[in-house]
Amino acid sequence: MSAVHLLRDGALAELRLDNPDKLNCFTAGMLDQLAEHLEAIERDAGIACVLVTHEGAKAFCSGADILAWGALGPADFARHWVRGGHRIFDRLAALSKPTIAVMNGHAFGGGLELAAACDIRVMRPKATIALPEPAVGIVPGWSGTQRLQRLLPEPVIKEMALFGRRIEAERARALGFVAEVAEDPRAAANTIAARVTEISPRAVEITKMMLHAGAGEQSAALIEALGSAAISATADRDEGVAAFREKRKPEFPGT
């Protein structure tokens, strides 16, 4: 049974976490479903923007299911659970479409890391964010000590991770982590997303790539992707392909 749904409404896609009885915490199956949906979204040229939402009013996502990783040995925990989840969250961050985390409830641990992998976040006033991993004897594993360093001041991350404090929505907005605090985060996110659907999808995609490259988010891959996109639009590239197919020496026009 799917616990991460991919829904479509025109050019707007929605990734919905559906495990409210466990505060939308991630299981291994949910990670696999998220990965599959991200690949489907990337291939769909008709999608202009993606909302990451959740069922239930209490939690956006409470992190990783302890029952899912608690029985794993050190090697499997590090190799599969941590590295696998990290790779999937990196895939979300690298998605070519703009993404918005719609946070009606709390985002703890992996849930905060999921929200951080989105481009912007909209949050309900009573929702909070936290990094409670040390309280259960582990450390943040899906970019909580890495990507968050680019989005929040280091002392604030330490406040959560080392001292177990929660950060409220208005403070998160003042810190620039949250774009908007609203009683109805979904309505606010829909308004933001509507604007994205009205502007050039290619310009949005390239701008996101440039911003991420400048911020060090997978910069090596993005630089090569941008370079490849530029060269693919040249007559030299067309001549190189044609010469290969015709088994002859290319005559590059230099344009």
133 is known as an active-site residue: yes
Name the catalytic one among 14, 36, 133, 170: 133
Name the catalytic one among 14, 42, 113, 251: 113
Backbone angles phi, psi at 60, to 5 degrees: -65, -55
Cα(102)–Cα(52) distance, integer angstroms: 6
113 is known as an active-site residue: yes
Token pair recorded at residue 171: 């403070």
Burial 235-246 (b: 16+ CB within 10 A, else e): eeeebeeeeeee
Phi-psi domain of 63 (left: phi exceeds 0; alpha: psi -120 through 50; beta: other): left
Residue numbers annotated as active site: 113, 133
